[in-house]
Amino acid sequence: AANSSTSIGYFQRKSNFLTTSLKLRLFGAGLKAPQPTDKVVYLAGAWDMFHAGHIETLRKAKEFGEFTLVGVHNDSVVNEHRGMNLPIMNLHERVLSVLGCKWVDDVLIDAPYAVTQDMIHSLKIDVVVTGAISTASDDSRNGTVKSGDSSNEEDPYLLPRQLGILRVVQCSTSMSVVDFIDRIQSQKEKFSQKYARKAQLEEEFYKDKYNVL
């Protein structure tokens, strides 16, 4: 992975799912702007294959304030920092998934990889939340792309860490996109073995029944 987000190459996950402004409005129905007294909580990530781990992280993030703003990174950012031909879902699909969660008050589409001073000022962010992650392969559990703990990686939370507004939430589930991929591959292998065994039994049956050599 590159050390800077400026070197991210173009990657876009193709999809036949067509996102229109009407779909965005429907998924975002009921969303309201934050009140002047609301504490704005921001967290960002990939949110690929939106699952229970994501929901738990968002629920816990909501406890830090009244208005939860969720950033969704574009396909290139996710692929640059995760690899493995990820994300599985494209940006628009992931945005709609997040918009459908009741713990989300608004979504920042194509969120910058690193939290900047301009973002904090313009979006009136009071608290920045990230999920607790240990390795790059684990980062899909709670939606975040990278914790920035590695000295070889850009720390997307450097500024909020310095400002003292960064909060880390623990996710109790071990579910991740990698787990989904492993399950699919495992089931594929089981199905292939089952099919091969079935074909072998059928072949043996016909050989015995019709004396086919």
Q: What is the pLDDT of residue 197?
A: 83
State which amino acid sits at residue 168: V
What does the block give as tokens for 134? 């240990």
Note the helical H segments in 128-176: 158-163
pLDDT of residue 196: 81
Model pTM greater than 0.85?
no
Is the distance from CB of 157 to CB of 115 less than 8 angstroms? yes
Contact 93, 130 (CB under 8 A): no
Q: CA 5: distance to chain centroid?
A: 18
What is the pLDDT at residue 130?
94
What is the residue-level pLDDT of the chain in tens, covering all 213 positions? 333 334 445 666 666 667 788 888 888 888 889 999 999 999 999 999 898 889 999 999 999 999 999 999 999 999 898 877 788 889 999 999 999 999 999 999 999 999 999 999 999 999 999 987 433 334 444 455 444 444 456 799 999 999 999 999 988 776 777 777 777 777 777 777 877 888 888 778 777 777 765
| CA–CA separation, 129 and 133 (whole Å) | 12
Q: Is the Cβ–Cβ distance between 107 and 98 less than 8 Å?
A: yes
d(CA 204, CA 128): 64
Determine the number of helices (DSSP H) and then strands (DSSP E) in the chain: 7, 5
pLDDT at 105: 96
Task: Give the pLDDT of residue 75.
Answer: 92
- Residues 120, 10: Cα–Cα separation, whole Å: 27
Q: Which two tokens stand for residue 80?
A: 């640059």
